[in-house]
């Protein structure tokens, strides 16, 4: 079913085992990864863990996307480790590649200039990937009918048993965006992201909510804190990415060229959008989901959470993280205050 639609399949929604605490029905949700054929073994490792920690009790489908065709080997071996329906999709050409708003010549210069300045500074494909995850992943035909996605990546680790359904937790608590880790972004990759964002806010006040969590990403002096949710894990109500405000914001960013001329990541972009368009109550730290992606890890330290985990080390990054502390401390501010920050 390389390009099949989820709605073609009427069985998967009833195929879960459910748990004692819910009605056994699955939400319209899936585990989703953009991945390369070469990452097969790491992808299987992630799926094995997701199955063991969570999904064997539910049977949520998986969706794997790739800018190239998946090999038969990839599909077979991924299907063999997943215990639920698996869909493979290829990206539409217009969702990958150079943005129509940048020129190849200037992009070449930017890669040359930045190749030793930061990680992936000279990589073209990394920039295609970040732009895709920022503006197009939710538009893929396989995701069109989904209400929620849980983004997964090859080679990550899940340390803790997850004895409930995080999708239902999102729904039951009116949550839009869920995360596990909040680092600070490398400044030279996002030199003009906040400047470009504030331009969009000032041009589109009608798309801003009455209250927002913007103070998490910019401080009292309207300086970008570089705080972001690490999007290699994210559980999101996709109506957020499909909203008029998000699309307008993405278009504005794309036109500014920063996905290619700089190296704007989908993590700072999603996070900036969540902070300016959502309220704090709509954003959730899944503190109980112990997680590792190369670079950072989180292991819960609360006894009732920790007892379900097998952490290799004392992975207390999130209990020291400036951005996590800030997440706890700051609250929502009103739209006129947000606009004042954008004007500073
Ligand atoms: P990092 O986490 O920022 O170091 O970036 P990754 O290399 O992990 O890429 C993020 C996600 O996009 C991972 O799931 C990768 O498998 C996927 N990805 C990155 N580049 C490509 C690409 O060129 N093609 C495909 N199909 N997937 C990619
Ligand atoms: Mn990664």
Nearest atom of ligand 1 to the alpha carbon of 232: 2
pLDDT in tens, 246-259: 999 999 999 999 99
For the CA of 68, the nearest atom of ligand 1 = 26
Domains of the chain: 6-343 (3.90.550.10)
Ligand 1 in reach of 212 Cβ (< 6 A): no
Q: What is the distance between the alpha carbons of residues 86 and 30, in angstroms, rounded to a whole number? A: 10
Ligand nearest to the CA of 35: 1
The finding on whether 90 has its CB within 6 A of some atom of ligand 1 is no
pLDDT of residue 201: 98
Tens digit of each residue's pLDDT (9 = 90 or more) over 203-249: 999 999 999 999 999 999 999 999 999 999 999 999 999 999 999 99
Confidence of residue 197 (pLDDT cuts 50, 70, 90): very high
Instruction: Please indicate whether residue 153, judged by its CB atom, sits closer than 6 Å to ligand 1.
Output: yes
Q: Which ligand is nearest to the CA of 154?
A: 1
If you measure from the C-alpha of residue 334 to the centroid of ligand 1, how many angstroms do you get, rounded to a whole number?
37
Query: How many whole angstroms from its chain centre is CA 271?
Result: 9
| 42 Cβ below 6 A of ligand 1 | no
The finding on whether 232 has its CB within 6 A of some atom of ligand 1 is: yes
Atom of ligand 1 nearest to the CA of 67: 26
**How many whole angstroms from 181 Cα to the centroid of ligand 1?**
18
| Res. 152: pLDDT tops 50 | yes
Q: Which ligand lies nearest to the CA atom of residue 36 in the structure?
A: 1
pLDDT score recorded for residue 13: 35
**Does the Cβ of 36 fall within 6 Å of ligand 1?**
yes
Ligand 1 near 33 CB (within 6 A): yes
In sequence order, what are the residues at sequence separation of 6 or more whose Cβ sits closer than 8 angstroms to the Cβ of residue 269?
130, 134, 193, 250, 253
Mean pLDDT over 169-180 rounds to 98
Indicate which atom in ligand 1 lies nearest the CA of residue 267: 3
C-alpha 249/C-alpha 244 separation (Å) is 8
Query: Residue 8 C-alpha to ligand 2 middle, in angstroms?
Result: 31
- Going by pLDDT thresholds of 50, 70 and 90, the confidence category of residue 312 is confident
Residue 106 has a CB neighbour count (10 Å cut-off) of 12
pLDDT of 318: 96
Residues in the chain: 344
| C-alpha 232 – ligand 2 centre gap (Å) | 6
The mean pLDDT value of the chain amounts to 94
Just list the catalytic residues.
234
Percent of the chain topping pLDDT 90: 91
163 neighbors 19 (Cβ within 8 angstroms):
yes
- Centroid of ligand 2 to alpha carbon of 44 (angstroms): 14
């Amino acid at each position: 079913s390389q390009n099949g639609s989820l709605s073609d399949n009427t069985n998967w929604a009833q195929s879960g085992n459910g748990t004692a605490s819910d009605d056994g029905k699955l939400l319209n949700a899936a585990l989703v990864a953009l991945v390369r054929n070469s990452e097969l073994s790491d992808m299987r490792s992630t799926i094995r863990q997701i199955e063991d920690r969570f999904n064997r009790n539910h049977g949520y489908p998986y969706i794997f996307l790739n800018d190239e065709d998946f090999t038969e080997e990839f599909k077979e071996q991924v299907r063999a480790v997943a215990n639920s329906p698996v869909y493979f999709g290829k990206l539409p050409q217009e969702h990958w590649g150079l943005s129509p708003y940048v020129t190849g010549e200037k992009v070449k210069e930017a890669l040359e200039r930045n190749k030793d300045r930061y990680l992936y500074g000279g990589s073209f494909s990394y920039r295609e990937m970040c732009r895709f995850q920022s503006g197009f992943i939710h538009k893929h035909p396989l995701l069109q009918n989904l209400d929620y996605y849980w983004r997964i990546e090859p080679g990550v680790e899940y340390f803790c048993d997850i004895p409930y359904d995080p999708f239902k937790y999102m729904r039951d608590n009116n949550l839009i965006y869920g995360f596990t880790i909040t680092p600070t972004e490398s400044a030279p990759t996002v030199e003009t992201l906040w400047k470009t964002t504030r331009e969009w806010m000032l041009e589109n006040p009608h798309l801003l909510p009455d209250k927002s969590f913007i103070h998490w990403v910019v401080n009292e002096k309207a300086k970008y804190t570089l705080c972001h949710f690490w999007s290699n894990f994210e559980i999101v109500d996709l109506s957020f990415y499909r909203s008029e405000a998000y699309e307008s914001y993405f278009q504005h960013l794309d036109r500014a060229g920063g996905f290619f001329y700089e190296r704007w990541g989908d993590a700072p972009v999603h996070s900036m959008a969540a902070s300016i368009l959502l309220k704090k109550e709509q954003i959730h730290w899944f503190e109980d989901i112990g997680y590792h992606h190369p670079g950072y890890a989180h292991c819960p330290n609360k006894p009732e959470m920790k007892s379900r985990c097998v952490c290799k080390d004392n992975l207390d990054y999130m209990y020291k993280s400036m951005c996590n502390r800030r997440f706890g401390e700051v609250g929502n501010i009103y739209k006129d205050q947000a606009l004042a920050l954008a004007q500073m």
